[in-house]
Amino acid sequence: MEALSPRQAEARPERAAADEPAHLTRADRVELLRAMLLMRAIEARALTLYRQGRVPGSFYDGFGQEAVSVGAAFALGPRDRLCPLHRDLGAHLVRGVETTRILAQYMGRASGVTGGRDGNVHFGDPSVGVMGMVSMLPDMMCVATGMAMAFKLRGEARVALTWFGDGATSRGDFHEAMNWAGVQRLPVVFVLENNQFAYSTPLEKQFAVDPVERARVYGFPGVTVDGNDAEAVFQAVRVARERALAGEGPTLVEAVTMRMHGHAAHDDMRYVPPQLLAEWAARDPIERQERRVAALGVDVEALRAEVDAEVEAAAAEALAAPLPDPADATRGVFAEGAPQPLGDGRAPWSGFAPAEAPA
């Protein structure tokens, strides 16, 4: 797949998917579906827990956007590093973070990924190569840029990838990271998750020119893909990663999708026209992948049931997990001893040569 110009891609959103199915085995395509099903089931369960008062604070989800985090993370190797955002639970799942630790995280339990120190999807499991996000958007673009700079400095064949929203493109860190990555031709992939809204703010109040078009002026390509097609997102990121590994620098991948829920659980999103939601509902990323996988003869119902059972068991375990010890609140502000850098994560894509597999 060559880099599509934004206009081309918009005209043919399905194209990337149909392009190179050769890169995805049957098992890969099922795995993409499984990760998306898992993400949705976890977030649905978490929303119920939230409404039952079991999830403190607020709750953000990526309902309808599963293809973006799952598809992009699926293209990453074990030694690549990721900075996911608040609608990117799928990235954590692809890397191998256990469901029960995620649900415990939402409920502020001691066994959650941050042990109750942070909530929601504000976490990263360093052992699987994931740096947790901060709320300030899109700070992680600068951090991913620095990871890529270190890879280049050390001559390592690795990439860094981060996601960010349409709203986040208005902040200065977007410009600083894009410019820096372009100047130094760094092996970084920027995935713009264009879900039509930033909280209640629609795209037309966010920018005069689609950010994907800005990539060119920073000196690297911007491509638009159908963000509701996991295979299309995968292909775009796979190509971007190869470009990065070949020393050709960054790529901006704009995944066009729709935030199907409110900004957070409290938001009834009255500002979204129902017609728009209906249109996007007809393009659900999970249903699309289910149709593909069913056509391969896979029992999709059985897969769903398996995922649901996994989430139920994980929820029971998380609900039984203890809350943190209040004495722990003041511990761990500072690191002691030799720093342990981010570790390697799960990289389930079949396309990775054994040499790229974790040691």
Ligand X SMILES: Cc1ncc(C[n+]2csc(CCOP(=O)(O)OP(=O)(O)O)c2C)c(N)n1
Binding region for ligand X (CB under 6 A): 87, 135-137, 165-168, 171, 193, 195, 197-199, 259
Full 3-state SS string of 251-319: EEEEEECCCCCCCCCCCCCCCCCHHHHHHHHCCCHHHHHHHHHHHCCCCHHHHHHHHHHHHHHHHHHHH
Q: Do the strands 81-83 and 160-165 form a parallel or antiparallel pair, or are they unpaired?
A: parallel
Which one is catalytic: 259, 261, 288, 292?
Answer: 259
Q: Is 195 in the site for Mg ion (CB under 5 A)?
A: yes
Q: Is 166 in the site for Mg ion (CB under 5 A)?
A: yes
247, 185 Cβ separation under 8 angstroms = yes
Whether residue 138 has a cis bond before it, omega within 30° of 0: yes
Which residues lie closer than 8 Å to 50 by C-beta, 6 or more apart? 59, 106, 265
H helices of the chain, in order, are 6-11, 15-19, 26-51, 66-74, 89-95, 99-106, 139-153, 172-183, 211-218, 230-245, 274-281, 285-295, 300-320
Closer residue to another protein, CB minimum distance, 97 or 239: 97
User: From Mg ion, ligand X, another protein, none, which one binds at residue 107 (CB under 5 to 8 Å depending on kind)?
Assistant: none
Distance in Å, CB of 143 to ligand X, minimum: 14
Structure tokens at 30: 């099922």
Distance in Å, CB of 135 to another protein, minimum: 7
- The sign of the dihedral angle between the CA atoms of 160, 337, 128, 43 is negative
User: From ligand X, another protein, Mg ion, none, which one binds at residue 199 (CB under 5 to 8 Å depending on kind)?
Assistant: ligand X
- The sign of the dihedral angle between the CA atoms of 75, 81, 86, 92 is positive
- Write down the residue that tokens 């795209």 correspond to: 203
Question: Where does this chain bind another protein (CB under 8 A)?
Answer: 81, 113-114, 117-118, 122-126, 131-132, 134-136, 139-151, 153, 160, 172-173, 176-177, 179-180, 183, 332-342
Closer residue to another protein, CB minimum distance, 278 or 333: 333
- What are the distances in angstroms from CA 123 to CA 26, 135, 306? 31, 11, 26
Binding test (CB under 5 A) with Mg ion, winner from 113, 161, 186, 198: 198
Which one is catalytic: 12, 271, 291, 331?
Answer: 271
Distance in Å, CB of 72 to Mg ion, minimum: 16
Closer residue to ligand X, CB minimum distance, 31 or 166: 166
In this chain, which residue has its C-beta nearest to ligand X? 165
User: From ligand X, Mg ion, another protein, none, which one binds at residue 351 (CB under 5 to 8 Å depending on kind)?
Assistant: none
| Backbone dihedral region for residue 54 (phi beyond 0: left; psi -120 to 50: alpha; all else: beta) | alpha
Closer residue to Mg ion, CB minimum distance, 163 or 349: 163
User: From ligand X, Mg ion, another protein, none, which one binds at residue 335 (CB under 5 to 8 Å depending on kind)?
Assistant: another protein
Please say if 271 is a catalytic residue: yes
User: From another protein, Mg ion, ligand X, none, which one binds at residue 337 (CB under 5 to 8 Å depending on kind)?
Assistant: another protein
User: From another protein, Mg ion, ligand X, none, which one binds at residue 137 (CB under 5 to 8 Å depending on kind)?
Assistant: ligand X
Neighbours of 244 (CB within 10 A): 28
Closer residue to another protein, CB minimum distance, 162 or 194: 162
- What are the distances in angstroms from CA 72 to CA 66, 76, 243, 302, 354? 10, 7, 15, 25, 20
Closer residue to another protein, CB minimum distance, 156 or 312: 156
DSSP 8-state assignment for residue 205: G
Distance in Å, CB of 259 to ligand X, minimum: 6
Which one is catalytic: 81, 101, 263, 288?
Answer: 263
Residue type, 54: R
Binding residues for Mg ion, rule: CB under 5 A, are 165-166, 195, 198
- The residues annotated with a catalytic role in the active site are 259, 263, 271
